[in-house]
Amino acid sequence: MVFFVLSCNNEEIRKETSGSNQRLLSNNDSLYIEITDDLYDLKFFSAFANDSIVESNLVVFYNNDSIFRIDYSFNTEELHWKLKQAPVVVSEAIKLKSKNISGSILEEVDRILNVTVGYIYYETIGVKNDLVVSSLNYHKSIVNSVVRDAITHEGCNCTVHPAFLTEQSFFNCQEEHFYEVSRLQEILNEYAMYYELDESTESLMYFLDTYEEETLRFDEYYNFYIDRGDFELFIDNMVTDTSGDCGWWCLLGCGSDHGCCSNYSGCCLYWHVGCYVHDKMCTDCEPAWFCGWKCKPDPKPAKNVQEITYN
């Protein structure tokens, strides 16, 4: 049984002064959550430091002892700020790994965050600023990166998920997201009934016919459309580019091209098959941390809690 408290205290409204910058911090500009599960107590806080910077921290207690704390911030006015978050997540994951915390504790924290995030989204989206709520995903990805490294020995890797870049989801690592193979096959077969298949999708469908695992990691799926190394080079080129133009290194064409998800300047970040699969995979909004804040399932998601108190 999990218990958490979301604080929306009106006393949070106060004036923040930094040099000549002043900001009135309203109660939807900050979020406090406390999650208690057996011997675990997780305390999460997120708020605007100024008009563009969001700061957050996650403190984990086990049996009343403080185990670790993660601090995270991002600046939405920084050029290509979304593209720069994965390296920060990796850096924070390496710091967390260096603390040599018990793997079983990190696994439990990872589980708790995953089972509560859907209900947290449901209760806070529209009540709290989206950027404040989104901070929770960075902490989730940091913890998951360390847990995943203990299993795969691949290092604390994190490749930014294209769904985050196209505003379909909050931040996630490609490496932490898995598709159920049977469901993916079902969706692709349905897609093939209405659309002409490209070579990459045909190769993916052929691969799945002989694939014996029940789940497929997203980066393996996406590799059929963009080579992993090319995607990393593509991100690097986008970060260093200041023109916002569609260059030769835009592997999926331009954001304004037919078949690209959404319509924007610069490179296309997510091709239409990916959007089709994303929408079909998220009909039940699970997993909530991937399907995003715009997805609200009906009926209301299970809260896995005893009580929720608004102050």
Domain boundaries, the chain: 2-160, 178-281
* More confidently predicted of 258 and 95: 95
Residue 266 has pLDDT above 70, yes or no: yes
Beta bridge partners of 6: 33, 310
* More confidently predicted of 238 and 32: 32
Q: What is the pLDDT of residues 73-88, one digit of tens each?
A: 999 999 889 999 999 9
Query: Within 13 Å of residue 58, how many CA atoms lie on the same side as its CB?
Result: 23
In this structure, is the dihedral angle defined by the CA atoms of residues 232, 235, 237 and 240, taken in order, positive or negative? negative
CA angle 209/212/215 to nearest 5° reads 95
Dist CA 82 CA 230 (whole Å): 18
Dist CA 151 CA 104 (whole Å): 12
Going by pLDDT thresholds of 50, 70 and 90, the confidence category of residue 238 is confident
Q: What is the pLDDT of residues 164-196, one digit of tens each?
A: 988 888 999 999 999 999 999 999 999 899 888
The pTM of this model reads 0.82
Greatest alpha-carbon span in the chain: 63
